[in-house]
């Protein structure tokens, strides 16, 4: 009975069917960013959006401290000469870098690029910093702005020319095995973060033709957005010694010999917020996980003329109790704005829990709770408010996660043939898994036929191996399951 009412009240029709419009509207209405800045693909972070993003970043900082990464901050400009040291890397980014060529009226002696990512800025310094095996593993990170001059259609937080909240950790190790251990730690960090955002996801090992420029292999973590397209929200790369050789990053072993370090990176960005918006949102607006909501509870006093009860004072008392309990609470006591309008505003902004107090609540020593995720309303005794608030916020987290996991699971379909794969893309969208022989030529052909990208094979690799199936393209024995999706 309870479950029925939950599902019944939550509408996601616009979110599913007109996702692009819904998303653009929410960016604006929930005051996440202003898109009217006069450079395409560069947007202004508004206070509310920035507060959510800062909360996400605080979760990242905590994980970094826990795992012994140190925070650094590198310049945003990289000399052309440093940028061009690793051949694959420069080839991968060359078409989309922004060039600083002049200072005042004068041309620069060495042209500078605005970092598209920081390998080529950091690794000349790694060369100076890393000397001995005692310096390893070496683990740093930064959250900065990076630039990629996208030629595709831009979209706030998702595809932009200035990623203004770009997280990147860079590590160096004494062996391939220790670099692999780092990748596992990255996956654990990512998993902790994703749980805190109530975001179920999948991890795929990218095909060689789509790995990060300069990487030995790349992993991508994806969510499925409401329109069925996947959004990459995390990447981990094992570089082996590729950059170490280009930047001469060596260390002295215990035996006194010199070896190149092994390196990894791990990246995330403001796309995490885009994923939260798309995956939890509904036709009434955002639905924020309590973990990152700038306001976890909004209290709306509903005064009534000629009532002897002071609902504003009562609301403030409740707010005080909740604040003391460590909950982020806001009392919306704006005058001249009707409660219905306030409900509407805070629903758009995704505040997880609303508490309404009217004269009857003051009289009865109660308050009405309204959950943003299910629209359920129920009455709570005054002396149970803090306890019930905590419980309800926890229940919201659980419900968001369960709902999102169900969506993810029902949007991944394993089939055997290209025809069936095509039908899935017509029908229900999402991720399609197909048997694959492992050859690039087959993979690329399937991408073309399906008008989709190969995300790669499920990770860890063991889970991707299959037997007794035929490659959906060439008909030879299949080695792996490969994932395909329309991507952002």
* Binding positions for a second copy, rule: CB under 8 A: 34, 36-39, 42-47, 50-51, 70-79, 81-82, 94-105, 112, 114, 121, 124-125, 128-129, 140, 145, 149, 162, 164
| 151 within 8 A of 125, measured Cβ to Cβ | no
Nearer to a second copy, 214 or 294 (CB): 294
Nearer to a second copy, 79 or 303 (CB): 79
Angle at CA of residue 373, ends 369 and 377, nearest 5°: 25
Nearer to a second copy, 12 or 54 (CB): 54
Query: How far, in Å, CA of 482 to CA of 488, rounded?
Result: 18
Nearer to a second copy, 162 or 317 (CB): 162
Question: How far apart are CB 148 and a second copy at their closest, in Å?
Answer: 10
Per the structure block, which two tokens stand in for 219? 């992993």
Per the structure block, which two tokens stand in for 383? 């002396």
Question: How far apart are CB 422 and a second copy at their closest, in Å?
Answer: 35
Nearer to a second copy, 82 or 332 (CB): 82
Question: How far apart are CB 45 and a second copy at their closest, in Å?
Answer: 4
Question: How far apart are CB 124 and a second copy at their closest, in Å?
Answer: 6
Nearer to a second copy, 96 or 188 (CB): 96
Question: How far apart are CB 95 and a second copy at their closest, in Å?
Answer: 4
| 56 within 8 A of 48, measured Cβ to Cβ | no
Residues 6+ apart with CB under 8 A from 161: 39, 40, 41, 42, 147, 148, 149, 150, 154
Question: How far apart are CB 126 and a second copy at their closest, in Å?
Answer: 11
Report helix, strand or coil for 132: strand
Q: What are φ and ψ of residue 357, in 5° steps?
A: -130, 120
Query: How far, in Å, CA of 383 to CA of 63, rounded?
Result: 35
Nearer to a second copy, 294 or 435 (CB): 294
In 10 A of CB 208, how many CB atoms? 13
Question: How far apart are CB 162 and a second copy at their closest, in Å?
Answer: 5
Residues 6+ apart with CB under 8 A from 286: 26, 30, 276, 277, 280, 348, 349, 350
């Amino acid at each position: 009975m309870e479950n029925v009412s939950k599902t019944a009240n939550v509408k996601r029709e616009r979110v599913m069917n007109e996702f692009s419009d819904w998303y653009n509207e929410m960016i604006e209405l929930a005051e996440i960013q202003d898109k009217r800045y006069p450079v395409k693909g560069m947007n202004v972070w508004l206070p509310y959006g920035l507060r959510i993003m800062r909360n996400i970043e605080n979760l990242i900082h905590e994980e970094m401290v826990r795992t012994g990464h140190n925070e650094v901050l590198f310049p945003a400009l990289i000399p052309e000469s440093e940028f061009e040291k690793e051949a694959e890397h420069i080839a991968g980014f060359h078409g989309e870098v922004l060039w600083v060529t002049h200072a005042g009226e004068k041309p620069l002696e060495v042209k500078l690029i605005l970092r598209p990512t920081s390998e080529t800025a950091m690794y000349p310094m790694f060369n100076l910093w890393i000397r001995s095996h005692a310096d390893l593993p070496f683990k740093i990170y930064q959250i900065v702005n990076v630039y990629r001059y996208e030629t595709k259609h831009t979209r706030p937080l998702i595809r932009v020319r200035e990623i203004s909240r770009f997280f990147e950790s860079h590590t160096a190790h004494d062996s391939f095995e220790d670099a692999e251990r780092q990748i596992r730690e990255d996956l654990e960090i990512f998993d902790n973060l994703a749980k805190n955002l109530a975001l179920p996801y999948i991890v795929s090992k990218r095909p060689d033709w789509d790995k990060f420029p300069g990487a030995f292999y790349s992993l991508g973590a994806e969510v499925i957005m409401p329109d069925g397209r996947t959004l990459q929200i995390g990447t981990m790369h094992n570089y082996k010694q590729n950059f170490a050789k280009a930047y001469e990053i060596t260390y002295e072993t215990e035996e006194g010999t010199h070896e190149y370090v092994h390196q990894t990176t791990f990246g995330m960005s403001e796309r995490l917020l885009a994923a939260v918006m798309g995956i939890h949102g509904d036709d009434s607006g955002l639905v924020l996980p309590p973990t990152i909501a700038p306001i976890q509870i909004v209290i709306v006093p509903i005064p009534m003329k000629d009532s002897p009860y002071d609902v504003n004072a009562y609301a403030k008392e409740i707010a005080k109790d909740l604040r003391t309990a460590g909950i982020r609470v806001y009392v919306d006591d704006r005058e001249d704005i009707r409660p219905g309008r306030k409900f509407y505003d805070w629903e758009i902004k995704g505040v997880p829990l609303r508490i309404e107090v009217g004269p009857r609540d003051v009289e009865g020593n109660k308050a009405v709770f309204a959950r943003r995720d299910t629209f359920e309303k129920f009455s709570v005794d005054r002396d149970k408010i803090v306890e019930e608030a905590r419980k309800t916020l926890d229940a919201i987290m659980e419900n968001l996660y369960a709902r999102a996991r169900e969506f993810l699971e029902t949007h991944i379909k394993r089939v055997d043939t290209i025809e069936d794969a095509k039908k899935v893309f017509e029908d229900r969208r999402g991720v399609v898994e197909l048997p694959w022989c492992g050859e690039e030529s087959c993979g690329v052909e399937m991408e073309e036929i399906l008008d989709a990208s190969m995300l790669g094979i499920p990770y860890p690799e063991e889970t991707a191996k299959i037997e007794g199936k035929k490659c959906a393209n060439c008909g030879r024995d299949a080695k792996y399951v490969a994932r395909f999706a329309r991507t952002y």
